[in-house]
C-alpha cells in the first residue's frame, strides 16, 4: 500500500514539473477601459 502511494506521489510531482517546464516563463496581462467623462471628474473619483 505504501509503495502505491509513493508511486502516485512521485508521478504527480513529475506531472507538475513537466507542466511547469511547458508553461511560458513570463505572462503579460493588460486591461483597458474607455471612460466617457472629463479627466477632472475621473481624477477626482480615483484620487479621493
pLDDT tens, position by position, 1-48:
999 999 999 999 999 999 999 999 999 999 999 999 999 999 998 887
| pLDDT number for residue 48 | 73
> Considering its fold, how many domains does the chain have in total?
1
pTM of the model: 0.51
The pLDDT value given to residue 17: 97
* Residue carrying the nine cell digits 479621493: 48
Distances from the Cα of 2 to the Cα of 6, 9, 10, 14, 16, angstroms: 6, 11, 12, 18, 21
6 φ/ψ sector (left φ>0, alpha ψ -120 to 50, else beta):
alpha
What is the chain's alpha carbon radius of gyration, rounded to the nearest angstrom? 24
What pLDDT does residue 21 have? 95
**Residue 33: domain span:** 2-47
Residue 11 is predicted with a pLDDT of: 98
Amino acid at each position: 500500500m505504501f509503495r502505491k502511494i509513493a508511486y502516485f506521489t512521485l508521478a504527480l510531482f513529475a506531472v507538475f514539473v513537466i507542466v511547469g517546464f511547458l508553461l511560458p516563463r513570463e505572462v503579460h496581462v493588460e486591461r483597458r477601459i474607455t471612460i466617457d467623462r472629463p479627466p477632472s471628474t475621473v481624477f477626482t473619483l480615483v484620487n479621493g
